[in-house]
Amino acid sequence: MVSLQNVSSGYNGQEIIKDASISFEKGTITTIIGKNGSGKTTLLRTASGLLKALSGKVLLNGRNIKEHSSNEIARQISFLPQTRITPEISVYNLVMHGRFPYMGFTRISQEKDKKAVEDALAKMGLAEYRDRNIQTLSGGERQKAYLAMVLAQDTDIIFLDEAITYLDINHQFEILNIILQLKKMGKTLVMVLHDLNSALTYSDRICLMDKGRIILYASSEKIVESRELERVFHVNCCPVAMDGESTQYVFTLKKD
């Protein structure tokens, strides 16, 4: 489990995240929402140990994350960043990168590493893409290849920064359903999403951020009830009950 206690973090000594305290519970999906520049990515990077806290503590399974080696962290936390260069690499070799934290310096894959890669490729429906250069894949296929890498890394905690942005609606649903499956496997997922309806419908908890602060950390229902979402985004939020489906949310711009 990852938890933050009164954490401040930022860049070049300048505080972006201010006094954040939050725990991401095992087997749940938490989505961080907030306007551009509110500090979502910075919070994700801090919680995953990629960015050092300026003050406060980040705990990984009860121990300060600073006391874990980078390999130890990589066996417990995977992080899929928002912007990535697309290297010239086959799908198979990309997914094998997820096994590096288990391989030591030689980076020679063992049977268990090969099996983890095969399983991840199969789970993502990418077996026939194994030899394809990832530069030749569509955005949706490429995202699935990166998720297969995360799956092969086999960590309990998964951080995803804008994993569905720029994907068509079918790929968005496909990725969100994969995320639900990961949760069913007992993984802890923490992600940043821009689509507020998807955030509210797929998450157990929402972390609402504004100007570097966590404003609320609660269930979707509580977040909607509080009306903080409407204040922060300057929108009206209207829950729509769907026949036999979960509640969906429609947003309109506030007039004033």
Provide the binding-site residues for ligand ADP, judged by CB under 6 A.
Answer: 11, 16, 34, 36-42
Nearest to 230 by CA among 198, 252, 248: 252
Torsions phi, psi for 196 (to 5 deg): -65, -35
Cβ neighbours of 95 (radius 10 Å): 29
Nearer to ligand ADP, 43 or 147 (CB): 43
> Is the separation of the CB atoms in 169 and 176 below 8 Å?
no
Nearer to ligand ADP, 121 or 164 (CB): 164
Ranges of H-type helices in the chain: 40-47, 70-74, 91-97, 100-103, 111-123, 139-153, 169-184, 196-202, 220-226, 228-233
Q: State the minimum distance, in angstroms, from the CB of residue 15 to ligand ADP.
A: 10
Nearer to ligand ADP, 18 or 123 (CB): 18
Nearer to ligand ADP, 58 or 91 (CB): 58
Return d(Cα 65, Cα 255) in angstroms, integer. Answer: 45
Nearer to ligand ADP, 14 or 106 (CB): 14
Q: State the minimum distance, in angstroms, from the CB of residue 154 to ligand ADP.
A: 27
